[in-house]
Every structure is written in C-alpha cells, then in structure tokens.
Structure 1
Amino acid sequence: MMTPLRMLLLDRRTNADIIIDTLRQAGFVPAWQCVQTESDYLAHLRDSIEMIVAAYALPQLPALRALELLRERGLDIPLIIIADRLREDQVVAGLKQGAADYVVKQRLERLGPAVSQALRDKMQSHGEPERPDKAEALRASEGRLQLLIAKNVDGVVVINRHGVIRFANPAAEKLFARPAMELVGEPFGFPMVVGETTELDIVRRGSNLVVAEMRVVETEWEGEAAYLASLRDISERKRAEEMLRQQGEQLRQARNMETVGQLAGGMAHEFNNLLTAILGYSDLLQKYLANMAHLHGYAKQISDVAHQAASLVQQLLAFARQQVLKPQILNCNNIVHETQDMLRSSLGDQIELINHLEPHLGLIEADPIQLQQVLLNLLVNARDAMPEGGKLRVSTANVDLNERHQERYLNAPPGTYMRLTVSDTGEGMEPDVMSRLFEPFFTTKEVGKGMGLGLAVVYGIVQQNRGDIEIRSAPAAGTTVHIYLPHVARASEPVALPKPAAEAPSGSETVLLVEDDHIVRLLIRSTLELKGYDVLDAADAEEAIRLCEQRDASIDLLVTDVVMPGMNGPALAAHLTSFYPEMRALLISGYSLDNLRTNAAADAAIAFLSKPFTMDELADRVRVVLDNSPADV
C-alpha cells in the first residue's frame, strides 16, 4: 500500500530525485516541493506539510536554521536531517533543536523507516491530551542518540561533568581495547576542550599505543549536562606522516650533502694541483740536495707535510664520491678480520669485541681499501664512544630489501645486499647531533682528537659503491650503524696489474704534455726531460691540436689533464688518434676518472693517474703505459 506524503525538500536539485526515489521505494507517494532559500521555505511552510527533509549544510538554508524557523512559526512538522557523514556534534545539535532523526547519505535506505517513525510519533503525540513531558522527550532523544552513535565507526564516549564515563559505543571499546562495562564509571582521564580537535595518546594494556583525534561537544545525558567525545584512531595516519617527514628530511639532507660534496670535490681538485707541484718540487730538491743533509731534511719535511695534506684531500674526495675506485669482488668477512687485527691493540682491555659473521656471506664488488677505511672509522668511533669500556659488536648478514624497505632506504633499490653492522654500548647521540652526522668537519670530540671527517668519508664511500647507510642512536642507548652494499652474482678472476720497473724508469720517446696549470706543466716537463723524454707542451687542447697539425714526426704518448678550458682531456685523446693511431694516452686529474670519462673517450687507449703524485710515480706510470698494451694498463 502506497502512502501519500506532502513534504518539503530542503536540498540541491541534483539530490532531489535520489531522495524522492528512495521514498517511493519505501512505499510513499511524495507530493513535494524543493527549496533552497529561506524566503522560498517560508513561502511554502504551512500546516498541511506532513514532513520536511533537510540537508544539514545547505548553503542558504542550513537544517538547524530550518528547525529554528519551525519553532518561531509554532509549527509541529517533523524534520529529518540528511548529512554527508555522521558527526556527533551535528547529531547532538540537531536533536537538541527538535530534529526527528538524522540520516547519513551513504545509508539513505534508512530514510523511509525514519519518515514512518516520525509520522507515528506525531500521531501518538496528537492522540494524547497533553504533550509528552520533558523527561519523556529527553529519554526519546537519548534513545535515538544512542542508536546513532552505537553504529558509528568512530569511538564515542559520554562523560559527565565530573569527568566520569557514562557511555561507550562498540568502536570505543575497540579503541581502548576494553569492554564498555569496564569503561563506564571510570575517570575519562584526558583534558577536554569543547569545539576544538585535539590529539591524545591512548595506552592500551600491554603498552600498546594508539593515537586518537578527539572532538568534544556539550550534550545532555540522563537529564544532566555532559560531554560527548568523538575519538578517531589516526595511528596509521600519524605513522604515514612521520614516514613522509623522515623521507623529506633524508631528501633534504641528501641534497645538502650533494651540494657540499660538489664544493668539496672542486676544492680538492684545486688542492691536488697545488700538492702535485709541492710534492714534485720537494722530490727534485731532495735529489739535488742529497749531499747536503741539513737542506735535504728541510725538503723532506716539506714532502712529508704535503703527503699529509694529500691524505686529507683524499678524505674530501671520498666524501664527495670522487675518489679513484679500484673495485674487486670480495667477501666482507675478510675485511672485518684484517681491520680488527690492525685495531685490536688500540681497543684496550675494557672493550669486549664480539663478532657475528655470516659464514655464507654473499660477495660484493667494492674497493677493499675504501671498505677497510669505512670499517676502521666506524670501529674508532665506537671505541671513542665507550671511554669507560663496553661491548663492540660487529656482524655481517645477507638481507633482502623489498619494496617496503625501499621507502626507508632512499638510495637502495630492491634486491639482495650484504649488511655490515657495527654497534656499541656507549653514550649514544642526541637528535640534533644525529641530524648533522654526515657534515664534513662536524665533530663532538675534543679539539685535536678528530677533524669530523670520519662519518662524512663513510657516507661518501658507501654512496660511491652503490650502497646505503642507516644509523640508529639515542642518549645512553648506544649507537648502531648498518652499511648495505649490493651483492654480485659471482666472483671474477683477479687481474694481474703490470709492475713498474725496479729501477727509476727513463726513456727517449716523444711525449705531448697538455696541462692548463703553468706550475704543474713546468714540473712535469722538467721531470720527463730529466728522464730522457722529448717533451712538447701545450696549455690547452686547441694549442695541442695546432702543434700536431704542424708536426710531421710521430708522438708516442699524450699526457693530459682532464679538466681544461674548452675541449677536455678524454675528448682530446680521442681526437688526436686520427693523427697518431698508435699514440698512447695518460690522463691526469684530481678528480675520479669515473666522474670524468666521456663517451668520446670510451674507445681511446687511456690510462689514468690521479693527483697528487710524486715524480717517481709519474715516471713509473709513463713507462708502464708505453711498455704495455692499452688493455693491460
């Protein structure tokens, strides 16, 4: 049986058809008018209207305003609120102002039953001689409120003015991990601010922490003023926000490190030019002053200090990921044993060294000297963090970094890795120190006990070897450092490097020297000429090409700097092979060849010598390049 229904619909036209169709499916035959403004609403408002269905947030005519106008007119017409979502503050506000019911759009099938119940309630009230008293109306309102909040997915608790819980819905039971019968009668225990959204930490049994978002509104409960608190579990959201924050911080730090690394690399290159000249000329002085012990000692001290400076520059290049790599297929366990043997005596009796090394550790490809430097720096840092002694643990393991780990380790794509771990039971670090760990020259050690390059060097070496690093620490909780380096499929045969001649090598070949630094160029020319070579020199590639075009005789070896104005060294080497197909090439630079090699140089017969170098190292390398085939250099 279909029931006629005279009604007003306070909503947008686009929603009207869905609401009316829902009522028809529920057995009603609506005679309806859709209005959106207060003036239209008042124009159509009369006693003959049996039902009003109002959108809670209609811009020009909100449902609460429609209820207020009903009261002002003294009309007894049921009004049902429709809203996008169930919010307790809206429910309470609507029911307190006289709304018959509250329906969520996602459950619009409740509208028909709600209309039927509202019509029955109106008929019963009209059939009695007097209107229901306030207590009965309040109980009915509370009953509807309990029904609504019991079905809410958010936790809802009602708290009296004394801060005691009077009601908890099923979602609140799940949130607190306690049944409602335990919650009711207990103090709520959290500060409440009406009308504001706050966050609170709920500690469940077993110390399980849940982060909840709470919104509080005033209400009435069992005839007394009370508070209604809506609690939403936002633990997953907070974890996601924290992960995003950490990733943003990692990205910011990586970009800062990249910038500082570029600056350090550029400075190191310039220093290498200076150190090449200092080392070279001090070597020459020592040769010429061999019979003058006093002056020879001065020259030797210059050379020693220059070597110390060169070591510092190499650390800067390691941080900048521009060191010259000599990678090998190796087992990290061997590096651990060798490095610990070097350091064991300096650890002292108060530090207990504990190893947990994976016997079937996967192989990696890395520069063994660099990897030893990484482990040495980590072991020294761990030792210094335990002045009163403690436990220093070193472990290796095979790990599989999947997609989940990839979100955490920004530079480590999914795959299998060797993990090297160094942990101590020392002082640990504060968060502000952790945020600056990889900055070059940042140190917490006393003056003279460290330059602050140790972890910066570790960071650079690990990144240059396609790995990643993770550090965990807290005050008084020690520090753990994880190094991840990718596995390689199989070991390769060791390559036998050509050995330089035992005696100081010399020669009579023709060498073309191209170097834009005048001091370095003059030094290298003097050294090679003293060894018997015929040397042509040029300040840049353009001058070198012009010399070759004007020369009929062959050139045996090109010695060229890599970074020069105009055409660079590798491009020049590739270009000159058109003039001298048999010419060999030796690149010299303060940068790593990996950072400088170009496609044009890929097929050229190129060897490499990194600055700074001594003059004997230069003579040895020149002889090796001239005496061996390009594949053996």
Structure 2
Amino acid sequence: MRDGKPMSMKRRCQQLLDALAKLWRAEPVFGIFQRADLAKGRLVLLASFAITLAISVSMGIFSYQNLRATRDANRWEKHTYLVIMELDNLLSAAKDAESGQRGFLITGNLKYLAPYHQAIGNVNIHLDALHRLTRDNPDQQQRLGRIEPVLRSKLALLDENIRLRSTRGFEAAREHTMRDLGRQTMDELHGQVGQAVHQEKRLLRERALLERTYSARNFSYLLGANVVGVLLLCILYLFLWREFSRRIHNERDLIANRDLLELQNHELRMAGEERQEMEALIGKFSDLYDFAPVGYFNLDRCGVIRAVNLTGASFLGVGRSQLLGRPLDVFLTAQSRPAFLEFLERVFENQGEKVSGEVVFLQEVFAQVEGVASVARDDCRVAIFDISDLKRSEQERSRLEDQLHQSQKMESVGRLAGGVAHDFNNMLSVILGQANLALMDLPPGAPLYTALDEIRKAAERSADLTRQLLAFARRQPVAPKVLDLNRTIEGMLTMLKRILGENLQLNWQPGDGVWPVRIDPSQVDQILANLCSNARDALGETGTICIATQNREIDAAYSAHSAELVPGDYVRLSVSDNGSGMDRELLAHIFEPFFTTKGAGKGTGLGLATVFGAVKQNNGSINVYSEPGVGTTFSIYLPRHREGQQAPPQGPGEPPAEKGQETVLVVEDEKAVLSMAQQILSRQGYTVLAANSPGEALRLAREHPKEIALLVTDVVMPEMSGRDLAAQLVRDNPKLKLLFMSGYTSDIITHHGVLDEGTHFLQKPFSRGELAAKVREVLDRR
C-alpha cells in the first residue's frame, strides 16, 4: 500500500516489467558471451546431428541391401526343401498306388482300390507341384521330364494288373506280375528321383552357405553402426552436461523474481475464477431449462406462446424466435384442438393445481401435456412429453396379439380337420374300393350299375373334401420340386381360362428373372385354381383378373409389420380382381374351413382354407388386401430356393396300370380296407398275402417259400409302425420294395408333410386304378 491506498493490479504488472528490463540491461558483457556460447552450442549440435544422420543413412542402405540378399537366399533355401519334400512325396504316392493294387490283386475286393485311386490323384498333384517349383532350374526340369515317363509306365503296369485281375482272374494278373517289369520300373524310378534329390541337396548346401555369408556381413554392419553410435552419444553427453550446468547457474538469478510474479498471478486468477463461477452458474440454469427432455412453454389464456425452451422449439420443428406470439394449437391436428382448448380452461380454473391431458401434434406425434396457472392467472406454464414411442408400442402389441390369436385359432381348427379326415379316409377307402370292384363285375346296363356308379362318384367327391381338409391342416403329402414359377403358371393358363369363362379377362404379368422356388407343382395348381374361382364369383358377369409374379427382398422394417414374414428373399405371386371386394369383418374369417358367403350348395368353404394350408406347408406367407367396391388382391410370398433349378415335368398322363405276377404282402389293421386291397391286387394277377397285423405279416413272410417282391403297409398300426415293420422285413429280404399308405401323412415317414426322398406313399382313400398303378410303378422302379 502507498499513502493508505491499495496498489492497483495494472501498476503491479508495470513494476514487474521494469524489474525484468533492468535485469536484462545489467552486465552487457556477460550477455554477449552468453549469446556467443549459445551459437557455438547450436553449431556443435548441428554438426553432431549431420554426422549421425550420414552414418545412419549409410548403415541403413548397406543393411537393407544385405537384408534383401539374406532374405532371397533364405527363400531359395526353403524352395529347395520344398522340391526335396515333393520328390519324396511323389515316390511315396507311387508306392501307395502299388500297395493298393497289390491288395486288390490278392483279395479281389474293390475296397482296396480306394487307396490306389487316392494315390494316383496324389501322384498328379505332386507332379504339378514339382513342375511349378523347378521352373527356375532347367536341369531339374529335364530330369523331371525323364522321371515322369518312368512313373507313367509304372502306373500303366499297375492299371494292367488291375484290369487282368478284374477280367481274367488272379492267375492272369499273377503271371503278368511275375515278368518283373514293375520292379525294374520302380528301381529306375528310385534312381531318377535319387539323382534329383542329390542335385537339390547340392543346391541346398550352396544356398545355405550364401545365406550365412550375408548374415555375417549384416552382423558386421550392425556392430560398426553401434560402435559409432556409442561414440557420438558420449560426445553429445559431454556437450549437454556442460550446457545444462551453465543454464542451471543462470536460472538461479530468475528465481528471485518468480515469487513476485506468482503472487500477482494468484490475485488475478482468484478474481477470474469468481467471475467464471458466476457465469457457469447462470449457464447451468439456462442449460437445464433449454435442454431438458421436456418441452416447456409459457402460454397466455388464449394459448399464445410467450416463452419456450429449445426442446419445445425442436419438438415443433420451428425456431424459437419464430414461435413467440403464435398460438400453440396451430401445431395440433384438427381432432386434438378442442381437447387442448378444454385443457387450457381447466388449467386456469384450477389455480396452483397440476392439470394433465393428451393431444396429437401434426405428423402423428402423440404427447402428454401438464400445466399450472400463475398466481395472477394471466399466463400458465405447460410441459409437453413425447409419448409417441409408447403409443406405437401399444398399437404394435395389440396387432401382434390379434395375429397370435388368429394363428392359434387356425392351428386348432387344422388339427381337428386333420384328425377327422384321417378317420374318414379309412371308411372312404372301403366304400370306393368295393364300389369299383362291384362295377367290374356288372355290365354297364345292369340295374345296380347306375346306383353303384353314383356311390363311387359320391365317395370320390368326399375324398376330395378330405384332401382339402388335409391340405388346410398341412398334413397332405407333397413331393416338392425346384421349379420356375413363371413356367409353371404359363402351363396352367389354358385351364384357368376355362375356369373363368369367356366373359372374364385373364391378365398374366410374369416378372423378369423370377427366382426358383421349391413347391409341389400340384399345390401351385391348387392355389391358383381356388383363387381364380373365388375371383370369378366376386366379379360376376364381367371383369379382369390379374396374375403377376415378382422378386421381393423383405427387410427387417417390412417384416416388423408382418409377424409371419422373416427377412429374406421371396417370390411374390399375386392374384387380383376388380370385383366386389370384402370388408374388414369378412377378411377376418376367409381362411376358416367351411366359411363361405355363397348360397347353399354353391361352395364348401374349403377353397381359401386349402390355399392357406398349402402356403404354410411351404414356409410361405399370404396377405390379403381388399376394399368394398374396389377389388381384392391375394399376395403369396414363397421363399427363394438357392440351389439348382428343376422345371416341372411336362408330358402326357400315365397309361393304365399293367397287370403283374409278383408276390405282394399287404398289411392293414382295418379288415375292410385289407379285404378290398386284396381283391383289387388279386384281380390284377398278383399273388397277395394279406395280414391284419404286423406280427401276422412277419409270420407270413417267414413261412412263404417264394420271394416277396413288394410290401404294401399302413403307417400307423397297434403293434408297431409301418416303418419299423418294413425295416425288419428288409433285413431279411434286401430286395423288398416298399409302399406306405395312410389316411394322413405321419411323422414316421414324413417331415412336416413332405415325403422323404425315395419314399413311396399312397394317400387314402384310393381307387382301384390308383392302387394298381402305384403298385406297378413301385415294382418297375429300379
């Protein structure tokens, strides 16, 4: 202090600068020498750096060249090892081939030829490797040219021995072997390979010596560089020690002035920190208001915005300055504005109490609003919370629950329909079979012929109904094939036009490059026939039906709106019409079996249920879009098949089944079905062994003196399954052919209704012709 007044900060800084200037002006001679020493030190450092850099670059160049030469020598040394190893492997493969053919010559067992053929393949592999490895060595290439004919000659002798053993027997092969040509050839091969290995070992010694020479030279370079580096480090250390000692002495003179400078800096820092704390506190409260996760608004009694935070402005998508003076309700949907005005009235009526409500902003943004009026009741504070994600989650959960309930309902109906069809098929098999047998015994003009024919037709229609039930239940047996959907549909167009009639127009729009799918072609016929029949009934007298295909890539976003579609590649098959359409209530029931809007006697209600079952059986999905008075579109998504494509078979129908004389064992626990099948096959000329149980079938098979050609068995029986029975009989008779039959496909012989490859299956009920044709087909199959 001076004169009782505190010294100002500006004056203290000026005193500090004056003291430093005085110190600099003092002892000018010392300052000159100091600058001269500094220049000399810089010169020494620069010279040391230049020398070090030159030595380092030189040593680096020499070391790099020597390292490259060492690496090349090492690579050629490894190359020589590879050539020697391949020569040894080639000789070993020739010996393995000779051992394999010797085992076949002795035993005649073809399994000994497996190692022989494997050794022949290894010989070719090693020869190719040797040609590639010796491209740099003309001598070895020439020697390899002499080895290969000898090797081929040896392999030809082995092939000739195998051929003689296979065609003329052991003695002929032995006589050919005793000529001693194989041993001579093998000795010559040993000699040629040994010379090649000897030459490669000589190269190996030369290249190893070269590598050691380069390694020793490289060590000398590195040792010299290290010695020079150590000397330079010692010189630099002495110079730096002298320089640091001088600087430490000079720094002691500055310590006295540091305390004064630190004291003044501390006073300045304290004042600055107090100011920063005040600014930070103000900014913190401002940030808490602006960046809160809730939009805060200050509104007057009419809902006009007086103030808003940044979150509220961002929520409305408008700058804060542009919101002031605008009513908040202009950002709401028309349906939410009355609710918002009623919310404001309640806020001002309930002074000091929080009032809540829900509104919807533009772009379908759902929000919860909470407000409190001020004491003067001329404005209010309103907080807005975005609850759009919560609302969408609730809607999505409701939609998924509806889909789950519908899927569970369809699955339950499917299981019931499948069980009914299974029991009904056994009865229909007897009715249809006995009617066919009776018709064979009656002339067409007989009084009972017409009645029996009507019984047969009614049974066939009933069988069609059970097949549709099984298709819906996904228990109908199918034989899927990889096919081109466009080509399959084009083959159906003529049949579909006959279904639709002349007044309706069929528009076919095939997609370009449609991916292959794996599905039973008969199911494609079934799907399109049912969809086109429904479209025809919806159109009436005139209209257009459009069938289209295209490739679709389903991503996760699209899959989220359809629980049955997983992301992946699909082929979309759509059938559209411009008919009467359907409302939302009708769409909820269209896939239920026996549900129909047609009059009595005009529909079974199984058409769309059959389509649904066929699509699900092939891991597909079906969607329906319809509007009353506009039309309907069915979209079927079938998974893309990524293996080879197989076109659906095209050709005429099968000819009538031929008769036969083979012995057939029929096993069926239903006596009526067993009797009917026995009569049909007996009339076809077969010798039929009928068994009512698996145990009886095993007994008949043991006691029958002749060979049984075919087993026709039910799948599900009391004692054991048809597959287990077939396995026991095949062990005793490997040539026995198998034909399974059932009212529905059991998991014993199928996977989810899809027949295993090579499994023959006959669906109940079957007619006389179907049974006879299937038996003949299985017997004639190689």
Sort the TM-score into its range (normalised by shorter chain): 0.5 to 0.7
> 3-state SS of the aligned residue for 2:406?
helix
C-alpha separation between the residues in 2 aligned to 1:496 and 1:572?
36
How far is the alpha carbon of 1:573 from its aligned partner?
0.7
TM-score by length of structure 1 reads 0.68
Indicate whether 1:257 and 2:407 are aligned. no
Indicate whether 1:186 and 2:327 are aligned. yes
The equivalent residue for 2:531 is 378
The equivalent residue for 2:674 is 521
Aligned match for 2:721, one of 568, 578, 585: 568
Indicate whether 1:176 and 2:316 are aligned. yes
Unaligned runs of 5+ in 1: 1-111, 118-143, 204-208
How do 1:431-510 and structure 2 match up within 5 A?
Answer: 431-476=584-629, 478-488=631-641, 489-492=643-646, 502=656, 505-510=658-663
How do 1:157-556 and structure 2 match up within 5 A?
Answer: 157-179=297-319, 181=322, 184-186=325-327, 188=329, 189=337, 190=340, 191-192=342-343, 198-203=357-362, 209-220=363-374, 223-290=376-443, 292-344=445-497, 347=500, 353-387=506-540, 391-476=544-629, 478-488=631-641, 489-492=643-646, 502=656, 505-551=658-704, 553-556=706-709
> 3-state SS of the aligned residue for 2:760?
strand
1:548–1:440 distance in 2 versus 1, CA, 3 Å: same
Any conservation in 1 of the 2:426–2:743 contact (CA below 8 Å)?
A: yes
C-alpha separation between the residues in 2 aligned to 1:566 and 1:231?
73
Higher mean alpha-carbon deviation, 617-626 vs 225-234, is at: 225-234
> 3-state SS of the aligned residue for 1:578?
helix
> 3-state SS of the aligned residue for 2:512?
coil
The equivalent residue for 2:763 is 610
Any conservation in 2 of the 1:500–1:621 contact (CA below 8 Å)?
A: no
> 3-state SS of the aligned residue for 2:576?
strand
The equivalent residue for 1:62 is none
Any conservation in 1 of the 2:298–2:381 contact (CA below 8 Å)?
A: yes
> 3-state SS of the aligned residue for 1:511?
strand
How far is the alpha carbon of 1:242 from its aligned partner?
3.0
Any conservation in 1 of the 2:484–2:647 contact (CA below 8 Å)?
A: no
How far is the alpha carbon of 1:302 from its aligned partner?
0.8
Cα deviations across residues 236-279 of structure 1 (Å, max 9, x unaligned)? 44334433333333233223222222221121111211111111
How do 1:74-85 and structure 2 match up within 5 A?
Answer: none
Cα deviations across residues 448-484 of structure 1 (Å, max 9, x unaligned)? 4333222211111111122211223344553332211
How far is the alpha carbon of 1:116 from its aligned partner?
6.8
Letter in 2 for 1:152: A
Cα deviations across residues 583-629 of structure 1 (Å, max 9, x unaligned)? 22111112236773389xx9998522111111122122222222332
Q: Which is richer in strand?
A: 1
C-alpha separation between the residues in 2 aligned to 1:267 and 1:182?
70
Aligned match for 2:293, one of 148, 153, 171: 153
C-alpha separation between the residues in 1 aligned to 2:371 and 2:681?
89
1:368–1:196 distance in 2 versus 1, CA, 3 Å: farther
Any conservation in 2 of the 1:574–1:604 contact (CA below 8 Å)?
A: no
C-alpha separation between the residues in 2 aligned to 1:224 and 1:603?
81
Letter in 2 for 1:201: V
C-alpha separation between the residues in 2 aligned to 1:603 and 1:380?
32
Q: Percent identity?
A: 37
Cα deviations across residues 56-95 of structure 1 (Å, max 9, x unaligned)? xxxxxxxxxxxxxxxxxxxxxxxxxxxxxxxxxxxxxxxx
C-alpha separation between the residues in 1 aligned to 2:649 and 2:502?
41
Any conservation in 2 of the 1:409–1:468 contact (CA below 8 Å)?
A: no
How do 1:11-50 and structure 2 match up within 5 A?
Answer: none
1:361–1:619 distance in 2 versus 1, CA, 3 Å: same
Any conservation in 2 of the 1:584–1:606 contact (CA below 8 Å)?
A: no
How far is the alpha carbon of 1:149 from its aligned partner?
4.4
C-alpha separation between the residues in 2 aligned to 1:218 and 1:603?
73
TM-score by length of structure 2 reads 0.56
> 3-state SS of the aligned residue for 1:385?
helix
C-alpha separation between the residues in 1 aligned to 2:281 and 2:649?
90
Any conservation in 2 of the 1:280–1:523 contact (CA below 8 Å)?
A: yes
Higher mean alpha-carbon deviation, 488-497 vs 609-618, is at: 488-497
C-alpha separation between the residues in 2 aligned to 1:179 and 1:115?
25
The equivalent residue for 1:13 is none
Letter in 2 for 1:173: A
> 3-state SS of the aligned residue for 1:564?
coil
1:339–1:235 distance in 2 versus 1, CA, 3 Å: farther
The equivalent residue for 1:124 is none
Letter in 1 for 2:459: A
C-alpha separation between the residues in 1 aligned to 2:545 and 2:664?
54
How far is the alpha carbon of 1:530 from its aligned partner?
2.8
Higher mean alpha-carbon deviation, 235-244 vs 579-588, is at: 235-244
Any conservation in 2 of the 1:214–1:229 contact (CA below 8 Å)?
A: no
Higher mean alpha-carbon deviation, 454-463 vs 158-167, is at: 158-167
1:354–1:177 distance in 2 versus 1, CA, 3 Å: farther
> 3-state SS of the aligned residue for 2:374?
strand
Any conservation in 2 of the 1:570–1:598 contact (CA below 8 Å)?
A: no
C-alpha separation between the residues in 2 aligned to 1:604 and 1:547?
29
Any conservation in 2 of the 1:498–1:624 contact (CA below 8 Å)?
A: no
Cα deviations across residues 365-408 of structure 1 (Å, max 9, x unaligned)? 22222112212222333343344855543321111223444444
How far is the alpha carbon of 1:301 from its aligned partner?
0.8
C-alpha separation between the residues in 2 aligned to 1:372 and 1:276?
25
